[in-house]
Homo-oligomer: A and B are copies of this chain.
Amino acid sequence: MREPTVSIESQVEQFIGWLRTKKLKVTQERLALVREVLASKGHFEAEDLQIRLRAQGRRVSKPTIYRTLPLLIESGLLRPSFLTGERQTYYENTLGDDKHEHLICVACGRIIEFTSERLEEALVEVGRKHGFIAQKRRIELFGLCEYCG
């Protein structure tokens, strides 16, 4: 089970700081949304957020959700997620982005997480060579897993 390396509340603080930097207001709706997004496992869509919040007794409108998602993306806490050919916009928080790569089986849909020290080193070399400062990344290999190969 993947555990976030950074606590949710510290990420909420980061978001509040980001809002202040941008001179945007820290509203109850935005706080509820960022907490829900950070607590989410895997990918989800706009409506999932509304349903989960409603289950907690918090009512946030669709327009507000759609207006808040881009802020979460801009602030770096969220990213669109598209492993398969969904027709809708799915999202995923970025808490697990570091050091977790994915092997995706095109036959059974199984997703295997992995880490690799050699991969780490190769990427550091690439960054140095191109003068690129990497912040986040997405590494996905598509193919056949050990059960389907």
Pick from B119, B131, B143: contact of A122, CB below 8 A: B119
Interface stretch among A9-17, A49-57, A77-85?
A77-85
Q: Is A144 touching B140 in the complex (CB atoms < 8 A)?
A: no
- Identify whether the interface residues of A are mostly helix, strand, loop, or mixed: mixed
Which residues of chain B are within 8 angstroms of A149 by Cβ–Cβ distance? 131-133
Q: Interface size class for chain A?
A: 35 or more
Q: Is B116 touching A125 in the complex (CB atoms < 8 A)?
A: yes
Q: Is B142 touching A135 in the complex (CB atoms < 8 A)?
A: yes
Q: Is A112 touching B138 in the complex (CB atoms < 8 A)?
A: no
Find the B residue at minimum CB distance from A121. B118
For the complex of A and B, 5 pairs with smallest distance between CB atoms: A131-B146, A118-B122, A119-B122, A134-B143, A135-B143
Listed in ascending order, the chain A residues whose CB lies under 8 Å from chain B are 69-70, 73, 76, 79-82, 84-87, 89, 101, 103, 105-106, 112, 114, 116, 118-119, 121-123, 125-127, 129-146, 149
